[in-house]
Amino acid sequence: MVGSRRPAPPQNPFYPRRCYTFALRPTWTPIHENGREPELSLNSPMPETTTAAPTRESKPSLELLDHLVREVETVFHGKKEVIQLALAALLARGHILFEDVPGVGKTTLAHALAKTLGVGFRRIQFTSDLLPSDVLGVSVFNPKTAEFNTRRGPIFTSVVLADEINRAPPRTQSGLLEAMQEGSVTIDDHTYELPRPFLVIATQNPLEHHGTYPLPESQLDRFLMRITIGYPDIEAEKRILTESAATTPGFERLRTGLSPSQVLQLQARVEDVEVDEAILDYLMSIVERTRTSPQLRMGVSPRGNIALFRAARAFALTQGRTYLIPDDVRDLVIPVLAHRIIPTGSTVSTLNSHEQAARILESILDEIEAPV
């Protein structure tokens, strides 16, 4: 979890002597929903969609990100660092797995993010009898027209809350995770693009194991971050108690802080965040230590390394900076890497092994000197 942060310096102390840029711009086309999704005939072409390509002339201000965080804080109290992590995951085009007990605000955070972004929100309750078609969609034969019509599933929206994902059978989990990875859904050999921006917030209760299907390591790796919210502090919980009796729900007072097109532009700006060679070496030292540590049976893969690099750059934007500092990397190590490594003696990624992995990463961070 992100701790207390030092104030950012007035100038960039890590102005890159050698700057690294990576071309990761997507080729997806966003689908704009207008109310209920119409049924589509498989014999007719898909409706045309347009992509509002981010342009350098219309870059949204980074101050909008700070305004959005403060707006979400009005209904999700005392967890600013969690909001910033969720926003960084969105900007990095990743997805989040919240592992926590019920009632700490996971649904509230997902709903508030969708509200302030002005995008659609759907909650899917995962159960043992949930089928992949219940999530992705299905083709239904229409006897009147003698054609198959496509009924899209609830995943066709911008912010999806996959509640208790570990209660669904592996086949349904795989269908969701494949859609997260590909950015599209295939129904009867027809591929449909998912809306952009697209964020999946999955949850699971770490204390209940009866009737669950734990996510294997290969599927956990598909989530950019694995986060624990925890209980609010006393002052924050007093505000929650006071507002619970309000006649007007807090969500009704939320204002839209960013448009979907502005989110796409900010996602493109992640690639322009400046990275000094010394910070890149610092990141590589952390990853390499996980691969050689006798405390770990499995270290960070190249995909995990890329995820940390991308998430750290996105997190820098949430702090109002266009350059990376060592604290950005340090603050993202545990949320991004703890679920990608396996401690020695563990065979599966359980709550205990995840906590042990977090402690090992903390010791690695203490051993490696950050650049100054």
pLDDT by 10-residue block (mean), the chain, 372 residues? 48 45 38 42 39 51 90 91 96 94 89 92 93 92 87 94 92 90 88 94 83 83 92 89 71 83 93 95 96 93 95 96 95 95 77 86 94 86
pLDDT at 325: 95
Q: Which of 197, 220, 241 is the last residue of a domain?
A: 241
Q: Are strands 296-298 and 342-343 parallel, antiparallel or unpaired?
A: antiparallel
User: Does 84 lie in the same domain as 219?
Assistant: yes
CB-based burial of residue 336 (10 Å sphere; 0-12 exposed, 13-18 middle, 19+ buried)? buried
Residues 235 and 280 in one domain: no
CATH, residue 301: 1.10.8.80
Q: Are residues 99 and 235 in the same domain?
A: yes
Parallel/antiparallel/unpaired status of strands 121-125 and 159-163: parallel
Q: Which of 195, 222, 241 is the last residue in one of the domains?
A: 241
- 98 and 209: one domain? yes
CATH code, domain with 94 = 3.40.50.300
Q: Does some domain include residue 282?
A: yes
Three-state secondary structure call for residue 277: helix
Residue 100 lies in a domain: yes
Residue recorded with tokens 């591929």: 191
Residue 258 lies in a domain: no
Residue 297 DSSP SS3: strand
**Could you tell me if 236 and 278 lie in one domain?**
no
In a shared domain, residues 218 and 283: no
Structural domain span for residue 86: 77-241
pLDDT of residue 333: 97
Same domain membership, residue 225 and residue 134: yes
The pLDDT of residue 347:
65
Supply 105's token pair: 């605000």
Domain boundary, last residue among 195, 226, 241: 241
Encoded tokens for 182 = 């590909």
Question: Is residue 95 domain-resident?
Answer: yes
**Residues β-bridged to residue 250:** none
345: left (phi over 0), alpha (psi -120 to 50) or beta: left
Within a domain: 371: yes
Asked if residue 230 and residue 168 are part of one domain, the reply reads yes
pTM of the predicted model, to two decimals? 0.80
Looking at the domain assignment, is residue 5 inside a domain?
no
Residues 299 and 218 in one domain: no
pLDDT at 58: 55
* pLDDT, position 57: 41
| Biggest CA pair distance of the chain | 71
Domain count, the chain: 2
Task: Look at residue 268 and tell me if it is in a domain.
Answer: no
Domain shared by 117 and 201, yes or no: yes
**Within the chain, how many helices (H) and strands (E) appear?**
12, 12
* pLDDT (0 to 100) of residue 1: 47
48 assigned to some structural domain: no
236 plus 351 within the same structural domain: no
Q: Are residues 219 and 92 in the same domain?
A: yes
